[in-house]
Amino acid sequence: MEFGLEEVFETAGMILFENFDIRAVTLGVNLKDLMDRDAARLAGDSQARLIDLGARLVGEAQGLSDQLGVPIINKRLSITPAAWLLEPCAGDEAPLTLARALDTAAAEAEVDFIGGFGALVQKGATQADQRLMESLPRALGKTQRLCGFLNLASTQAGLNLDATARLGHILKEMAAAADKGIACAKFVAFANAPEDNPFMAGAFHGGGEPDAALNVGISGPGVVRAVVDKHPDCDLTMLSEVIRRTVFKITRAGELVGRELARRLGVEFGVVDISLAPTTAMGDSVGRILEGMGLERVGAPGTTAALALLIDAVKKGGAMASGRVGGLSGTFIPVSEDEAMIQAVELGALSLEKLEAMTAVCSVGLDMFAVPGDTSAATLAAIIADELSIGVASDKTTGVRVIPAPGLRAGDSLEFGGLLGRAPVMAVGRFSGEKFIARGGRLPAPIKALRN
């Protein structure tokens, strides 16, 4: 892949003035060969491997960043789904033994997060899956860098409502297990979870992956916002075109960095994830992109259409630039991590119902939003079921990261600080879906699942 001088100058400008960076490099690591009936041995062997690989990742990423002048913000590890590793292990303490080892490995290697403490239960749950699910409050509440996930649904299998209903209770326990419900911020419920996602909290190293693979998340909402601001009067057809061209450029830059880092580590290059991931920094907002298209505020009529245009342009630009686009490759719309989204909720422009409608065209889902602490387990499960059913029906990835804010009510604010930002507590409808959730069972897969 060759780069011209003009592209080099454009990339430099994006870094200096438009918040362009490599948001995350995530090294996925296979641990299946370390499976053992002795949970302590599994934990110790996993810890040793991850410390070695993680330390190398951090060192090489920093060296490459310094050499190229491209900021690499987060260095992360992801592992084989932990429930698979725990299949031979008996006892309820086995997941916690592994969780502590993974967290220790991340700290000693100085990676930001480690993902993969989760299970795929879209069709049913093994005993190991169930033990891991029940361990989540303690595992995520008592660790600092460990992230977890559950894949509760897929287009092929439908939605596991039994596991979803149980998760509602587990989330309540998770919220109480650590300060400000931070454990819930490190967990995501998925439909159609990708096996090569570099973004937390849902990253894991899937069964179809090699022993190790480097996946890159490029982000870049500040760059896209800048190009939208430069075209205030063009029609939507032309606006889509200029966004596609911009995403093409940042994808090429991201793949260049990812391939070189993978080469230095001696591992396979996986995917470049072209998701636009906002931060709380001014100018690094997906919401401001939508408002730059002409919306008074995110949540105003036209928001879903504007988001549909944005995500379509992002996908087309990325696909044109690289044959290794993967992961989520959508547009994140987290409430707590995007200053425009926070402001829209506080002004009353954006409700939970409108946020859900936006996810119908956005492949990331309901992300980092807070609800009152007294929200019932059944209502939490129903919110998750609503969102995941969109993913099942649309044959795309959707996820939910919800924080029942301990002791807070609608209109209050939950302060996380740093990357996780500030979450205004959103109102939840007062009518109940408890009897629906209590039915249990599995929502059948849509007819489009019968494609063989």
CATH number of the domain where residue 127 is located: 3.20.70.20
The per-residue pLDDT for 13 is 52
**Which pLDDT band holds residue 420 (cuts at 50, 70, 90)?**
confident
Q: Which domain holds residue 90?
A: 31-191
In-domain check, residue 435: yes
Same domain membership, residue 222 and residue 146: no
Pairing of strands 113-120, 72-79: parallel
Q: What is the pLDDT of residue 8?
A: 47
Query: Per residue in 26-60, pLDDT tens?
Result: 999 999 999 999 999 999 999 999 999 999 999 99
- pLDDT in the model for residue 278: 84
Is pLDDT of 108 > 70?
yes
The yes-or-no verdict on residue 5 having pLDDT over 50 is no
Whether residue 427 is contained in a domain is answered as yes
Q: Is residue 10 part of a domain?
A: no
User: Does 84 reside within a domain?
Assistant: yes
Q: Tell whether 6 is covered by a domain.
A: no
pLDDT at 17 over 70: no
355 within domain boundaries: yes
Q: What separation in angstroms does the CA of 260 have from each of 65, 129, 264, 321, 370? A: 11, 37, 6, 17, 39
Per-residue model confidence as pLDDT tens digits over 313-336: 999 999 998 889 888 888 888 898
Residue 448 within a domain: no
Of the candidates 121, 33, 13, the residue with the CA atom closest to the CA atom of residue 79: 33
Residues in Cβ contact with 371 at an 8 Å cutoff, skipping those fewer than 6 apart: 352, 380, 383, 402, 403, 404, 405, 410, 425, 426, 428
pLDDT tens string 61-93: 999 988 888 888 899 999 999 999 999 998 889
The number of folded domains in the chain is 2
